[in-house]
Structures are given as C-alpha cells and as structure tokens.
C-alpha cells in the first residue's frame, strides 16, 4: 500500500466525502493505465486487441508499457503516448469548435504550457484547415522536446514559441482560445510517479496556487473578448482548482461554460461546470478542467507593438509550391505553415522559435533539408525515397552513417515499412544522416511495432 503524507489525507477529507475519498485512495494503489492516441492520418490499429479510451475514439489502452522510443512507428508519428484523461482537453476543443464557432471561421489558438506535446498534438488533430495553433513552452529543454513531437505528428498547423505568459498578455487580444494546463502540485500523478509523492507539501500547493494565478492573469489579455480560456491541472485540492477558478471569475468577470460530451457522466463535479477526472470513475489519472469565457463588454488594454523586426533575408529555400500552405522565413530557415495567415502577426509572436514546419536551410548555395519535412503528412516534396530494412532503420534513428548505396546522389526521404522517418543526403558510398542530433535514439528498436498501418 502506498503511504501518503498525512497532510494530503487531511486535505482530501476537506474536498471529498468519506466514500469518495476511500474509493479514490484505493484507486491510487492500482497500477496506472497505459494509453496512446493514433494519428488521424494513418488508417491503422494496435497490433494487440486494445480497448478504446472513452475520452477519444482514437485513444487506445495497452496491456503494458512498451519502450516507445524503441518503436520506429512512434518516430514516424503514427501514434503519441498520452495519458488517457488528458485527452479530455482535446475533447473540450472539439466541443467549443463545433458549438461556439462557425465552420468557416479561422481560429487562432494558444496552448500556453504545451510540452511535451500530448494536448498540443491532440488539439492540432481536431482543427479545421485554416485554424492555427501556437504551442508555447518557456523551458528550453522541454521546448526542444515539444518541437520534436509536433514535427513527428506532422500536421503542419502549429507554431512553436518560448515566452512567459505576461508577454502574450502584453501582445494584446490575439487568441480565440487559450489552453492553460497550469504547473501544479501533481497529486493526480501520485500513482504514476512516486517522486510526486515525495515532493508534495502544503507549501508547494500554496506556491503552485500563486503561480497559477500569476499565469492566468498574465495571459488573460491575450484572449479576445468572448474567447475561451480552458484551465486545467492534474491535482485534487480545491486551492489549485475550484478556489482559483472562483478568483479568476471574480477578478475578470469570466463566466463558466458547461461542457457537453457523450461520456460526461464519467466526470465528477464538486461545483457546477468544473470537472474532475477521478481514477476510480474515469480510466486514467487525476485531472481538473473548466472552460472560462471572457466577457464581450470588457475592453482589453491596448496591445504593445511587437519588438520583432523583419530581416532582409535573401536566402531562400527550394522553389516549391505547397497546396494549402504558406511560406515564411526566420533567420536562415525556410518554413511552411498550413493555411493563409497574417505573416506580421506570426513573425511578431512573443518568443517565436519555429513559425511552422522547417523546410531546410541554404548553405554555400546548397539546400540542406530538415527531417521535419519528411514527417509532414499529406505533402509531397518530390524528393526521392529510399527504403531501409530494420537494421538500417536502427542505424538511422541512432543518427549513424548508413552504408546503402543510392541510385543517385542528393537529398532523399528515408522510409521504414512505407512510413517516412526523416531525410538523408545520398552520397557515393551511402547515406549521410540528417536526423537532428537531439532526436537520435540511444538504444535499439523493435522489429515489430505496437501499431500497424492497414
């Protein structure tokens, strides 16, 4: 039996009745469920008979946790390992998209605390063709992981930024929706992460509560009047959840919006329109979320001018036409982005890191493609392909040289079982590996993936 801090148990008594508390504690002694979410661009299924998650029809529960980084299908973006209850956030986006906006609307959405990318890739999968998602992560190492996961997911509708919440607030009302999965005390992860138990304290709960307030109030002005802020945590106490939401509403005039879903009966409400996922009721870990709508009659503070200055960059990528994509340049890198958006707004976003999918760079008059273009779903770059067997695939994911003589030299897209993994430069005696160094795998991979493409 897991031993929980006495103060945590006392806190639960202040939140839940006795029967709910006992059922919750019992569930926290049961091993965590393992779940993945399938990419909508692949018509595939898990190799085992997997149960569908109630939160997402493309979510699947696995019998055990495999080593995902050892599976080439993961690197090809065929699926993403995501905790099941966090998939409710994607369902919230779909609910709002379908019930509060017109189909022809072009939505601008911010995922404020986005790394490692589970909620980001889920939201991006549910967007209309001209919707745009900004995925933000302020910690550099986590920002790099976010970019990698978004690139492998490959839907081409996501921008990566690295900025504190107040910088978005200073930029003025840009977004139709802001998703704030706030840093929290992590009580909902107790059965999944033993460190979360050892690091828990009432002082940390207070610290998280204050930080969440700062983040929400800082980012609030970035939301358009009438727009929606989706606030979530993975913790059980009231301080970081209902008490915080009460303060948000009192100080901003925000209204709580009821959430509708066919499986809504799985959700637990202490207070109306504020939803909890409890492990004994909903398959997954602990989660709290609610939808806050900004009043239409509140006049936002005037937006500050962006400090971004356009560079006279004459370096261009390859001359290609992408149906439904626009081209942007940041520094030496050429990017493409799905839809047709205001370039000044995109390039002026706070902390802009990647304004779309990087196509590549030009060095000494030669184009060096980025592996992200191979992972972009539904786009043909007219680049030759080369198929790798399991051994060569392992070498590629380790970022090693591959002694496979090509038919001709130049950039190639490497394939495994018909799926794109990245790019390489074919030379006379083999393939120079162009996989980004930070994406390389440090172990072997399985010949049999946990998913297969039908």
CATH no. for residue 174?
3.40.50.150
pLDDT at 263 over 50: yes
Place of tokens 């189909």: 103
Residue 378's pLDDT band, with cuts at 50, 70 and 90, is confident
Cβ contact 118:83 at 8 Å: yes
Residues paired with residue 123 on neighbouring β-strands, in sequence order: none
What torsion, rounded to 10 degrees, do the Cα atoms 64, 70, 74, 80 define? 40
**Residue 353 domain flag:** no
Cβ contact 242:214 at 8 Å: no
157-179 in b/e burial notation, b at 16+ Cβ within 10 A? bbbbbbbbbbbbbbbbbbbbbbb
**Separation CA 5–CA 28 (nearest Å):** 13
**Residue 146 domain flag:** yes
**Residue 362 domain flag:** no
Q: Among 208, 234, 290, 393, which one carries the catalytic annotation? A: 234
* pLDDT average, residue stretch 217-225: 98
pLDDT in tens, 223-239: 999 999 999 999 999 99
Residue 447: its pLDDT value, please?
67
Across the chain, mean pLDDT equals: 92
Does the pTM surpass 0.85? The reply is: yes
pLDDT in tens, 338-364: 999 999 999 999 999 999 999 988 777
**Whether residue 234 lies in the annotated active site:** yes
Residue 366: its pLDDT value, please?
80
* pLDDT average, residue stretch 55-79: 94
CB atoms within 10 A of CB 247: 15
Range of the domain at 188: 82-293
**Separation CA 336–CA 324 (nearest Å):** 10
Cβ contact 151:445 at 8 Å: no
Residue 454: its pLDDT value, please?
64
**Residue 236 domain flag:** yes
Residues paired with residue 37 on neighbouring β-strands, in sequence order: 59, 80
**Residue 91 domain flag:** yes
**Residue 110 domain flag:** yes
| Total number of domains constituting the chain | 1
CB atoms within 10 A of CB 209: 23
Question: Nearest-CA neighbor of 126 among 167, 98, 154?
Answer: 98
Residue 309: its pLDDT value, please?
39
Radius of gyration (C-alpha) of the chain in whole angstroms: 23
**β-strands 357-363, 366-369: how paired?**
antiparallel
pLDDT in tens, 278-329: 999 999 999 999 999 999 975 444 444 433 334 434 444 443 446 789 999 9
**Residue 54 domain flag:** no
Question: Nearest-CA neighbor of 371 among 281, 327, 437, 323?
Answer: 437
**Residue 98 domain flag:** yes
């Amino acid at each position: 039996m897991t031993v929980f801090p006495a103060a945590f148990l006392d806190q639960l008594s202040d939140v839940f009745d006795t029967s709910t508390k006992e059922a919750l504690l019992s569930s926290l002694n049961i091993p965590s469920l393992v779940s993945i979410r399938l990419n909508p661009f692949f018509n595939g299924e898990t190799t085992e008979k997997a149960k569908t998650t109630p939160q997402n029809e493309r979510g699947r529960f696995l019998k055990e946790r495999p080593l995902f980084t050892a599976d080439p299908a993961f690197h090809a973006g065929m699926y993403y390992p995501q905790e099941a209850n966090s998939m409710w956030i994607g369902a919230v986006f779909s609910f709002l998209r379908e019930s509060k906006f017109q189909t022809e609307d072009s939505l601008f959405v911010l995922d404020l605390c986005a790394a490692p990318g589970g909620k980001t890739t889920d939201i991006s999968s549910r967007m209309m063709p001209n919707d745009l998602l900004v995925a933000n992560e302020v910690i550099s190492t986590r920002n790099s992981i976010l970019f990698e996961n978004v690139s492998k997911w490959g839907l081409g509708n996501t921008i990566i930024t690295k900025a504190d919440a107040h910088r978005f607030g200073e930029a003025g009302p840009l977004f139709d929706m802001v998703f704030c999965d706030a840093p929290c005390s992590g009580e909902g992860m107790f059965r999944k992460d033993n460190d979360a138990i050892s690091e828990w304290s009432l002082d940390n709960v207070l610290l998280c509560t204050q930080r969440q307030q700062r983040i929400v109030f800082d980012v609030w002005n970035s939301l358009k009047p009438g727009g929606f802020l989706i606030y979530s945590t993975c913790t059980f106490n009231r301080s970081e959840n209902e008490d915080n939401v009460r303060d948000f509403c009192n100080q901003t005039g925000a209204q709580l919006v009821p959430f509708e879903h066919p499986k809504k009966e799985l959700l637990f409400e202490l207070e109306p329109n504020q939803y909890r996922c409890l492990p004994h009721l909903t398959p997954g870990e602990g989660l709290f979320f609610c939808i806050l709508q900004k009043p239409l009659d509140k006049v936002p503070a005037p937006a500050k001018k962006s400090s971004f200055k356009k560079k006279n960059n004459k370096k261009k990528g390859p001359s290609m036409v992408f149906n439904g994509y626009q081209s942007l340049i940041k520094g030496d890198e050429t990017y493409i982005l799905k839809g047709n958006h205001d370039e000044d707004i995109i390039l002026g976003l706070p902390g802009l890191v990647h304004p779309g999918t990087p196509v590549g760079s030009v060095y000494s008059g030669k184009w060096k493609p980025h592996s992200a273009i191979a992972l972009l779903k539904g786009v043909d770059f007219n680049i030759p392909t080369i198929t790798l067997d399991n051994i060569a695939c392992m070498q590629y994911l380790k970022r090693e040289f591959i002694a496979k003589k090509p038919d001709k030299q130049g950039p190639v897209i490497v394939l495994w079982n018909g799926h794109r993994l990245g790019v390489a430069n074919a030379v006379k005696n083999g393939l120079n590996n162009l996989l980004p160094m930070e994406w390389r795998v440090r172990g072997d991979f399985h010949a049999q993936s946990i998913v297969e493409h039908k």
